[in-house]
A = this chain, B = another copy of it.
Amino acid sequence: MDFPYPSLMFLADVDRVSAKTALGVAYWRPDACVGQLRLQGCEVDLGLPDMTPAAARAAGARSLLIGVANAGGFIPPHWEAVLIEALEAGLDLISGLHTRLASLPRVRETAERLGRRLLEAREPDPRFNVVGEGAKRGGQRLLTVGTDCAVGKMYAALAIAKELKARGVDADFRATGQTGIFIAGSGAPIDAIVSDFVAGAAEALSPAAGDDHWDVVEGQGSLFHPAYAGVTLGLLHGSQPDALVLCHDATRTAIDGLEAFPTPSLVEAAELNLRLARLTNPAVRFAGVCVNTSRLSPEAAAIYLSETADELGVPCCDPVRTGVAVIVDALLAGAVRRGAA
């Protein structure tokens, strides 16, 4: 997809978890961000200048990007005035929500009248509407999985793909969510795909490749999330991972927003993901743990990472604090060993 960057990042009135789209794009694609537009009650600051749509246009913005990932992916009515104002200021609109921009009559009419574009990251490419076949494909694949939503699966995948490339490995980041698609410019919006086709879409997203090629696939949801585990399992089967990296937030004790559902232990999460992944790749292995330790002191974080590595027997890191080199070291060493065996 050819998104008309740079954008004015629309944060609306969200909390930090729902702002993960804007936060992710601002971190990984600073070139795509001109400023931010926040409504009253917004709890997030991207550190970008606050701008009206007109000011953003004057500063070079070509679009307004809805930087929100709310449950249900809907557009509440009180955002519409901002969307109209952006269109009138000369900006295209970019959205990754389930609600389609064109389904809002005033937005659609304004865009048509002014010749603006309405771009939808969650509108799946028809090539992803395919039934999975389960056949083993060439090439290596890594999938990030999680104890919950919003624990860093996309960030970990982007960091691992970047580290692999930095070491000269032929690697691709494969986006599966709106934020990843905004960052990479392409991908499969896996949670917006008709459920029959989820595994097939994951297969199409990480096609057969040369033996030394790595696809690093962004995970979605969690096998322990009562709403999204099915999405997670379809992606797990279709992406056919050779390596799993488990992601976790060190201070999360329950599934986000669902206090009745405790987060699983890392051991349980690793075991269940491996067990279910073996259906399409019996050789899958557990390659490491990525932990968001941002709410821990540096000392507490170091202890947490060290103890987790000891307990699980795999490298453990915080992609932001420590980088992912220890995981990539082990991954490549493992691949070499396997090739030589």
Instruction: Please give the residue numbers on chain A whose beta carbons come within 8 Å of chain B beta carbons, in ascending order.
Output: 71-73, 98, 129-135, 190-196, 198-200, 224, 226-235, 237-238, 258, 260-261, 276, 279-280
Q: Would you call B235 and A230 a contact (CB within 8 A)?
A: yes
Chain B residues whose CB sits within 8 angstroms of the CB of A280 once the complex forms = 226
B260 close to A135 (CB less than 8 A): yes
Contact A132 B234 (CB under 8 A): no
A116 CA to B181 CA, complexed, in Å: 41
Q: Identify the closest chain B residue to A227 (Cβ).
A: B132
Max count, chain B CB within 10 A of own CB: residue among A131, A190, A193, A235: A131
A261 surroundings in chain B (CB, below 8 A): 134, 279
Copies in the complex: 2
B231 touching A237 by the CB < 8 A rule? Answer: no
- Docked Cα-Cα span, A233 to B198, in Å, equals 12
Report, nearest first, the 4 A-B pairs whose CB atoms are least far apart: A230-B234, A134-B226, A132-B227, A191-B196
- Given contacts A226-B237, A229-B237, A131 and B71 within 8 Å (CB-CB): yes
Residue of B nearest to A129 (CB): B98
Q: A260 CA to B230 CA in the complex, in Å?
A: 23
Could you tell me the distance between the alpha carbons of A237 and B235 in the complex, rounded to whole angstroms?
17
Q: A227-B131, A230-B235 are in contact. Are A98 and B200 (CB under 8 A)?
A: no
Cβ contacts under 8 Å, A190 to chain B: 195
A160 vs chain B, min Cβ distance (A): 24
Bound together, the chains give a CA A132 to CA B71 distance in angstroms of: 10
**A232 / chain B contacts, CB cutoff of 8 Å:** 230
Q: B229 and A231: CB pair below 8 A? A: no
Interface contact B195-A191, CB-CB below 8 Å: yes
Q: In the complex the two chains form, is B231's CB within 8 Å of A234's CB?
A: yes
**Residues of B contacting A276 with CB < 8 Å?**
229
State A261–B136 Cα separation when bound (angstroms): 12
List B contacts of A237 (CB < 8 A): 226-227, 229-230
CA of A131 to CA of B258, assembled, Å: 12
Shortest beta-carbon distance, A133 to chain B, in Å? 7
Write the nearest CB–CB distance from A175 to chain B, whole angstroms. 16
Q: Closest chain B residue to A237 by CB distance?
A: B226
A191 contacts which of B132, B134, B194 (Cβ < 8 Å)?
A: B194
Q: A199-B230, A226-B199, A226-B237 are in contact. Are A72 and B130 (CB under 8 A)?
A: yes
Of the A-B pairs whose beta carbons lie under 8 Å apart in the complex, a sample of 10, sorted by A's number, is: A72-B131, A98-B129, A192-B195, A193-B194, A195-B234, A196-B227, A199-B228, A230-B232, A230-B233, A230-B234
- Nearest CB in chain B: distance from A104 CB, A: 15
Instruction: Please indicate the chain B residues that have their CB under 8 angstroms from the CB of A130 in the complex.
Output: 72
| Known contacts A195-B192, A195-B194; A229/B224 CB under 8 A | no
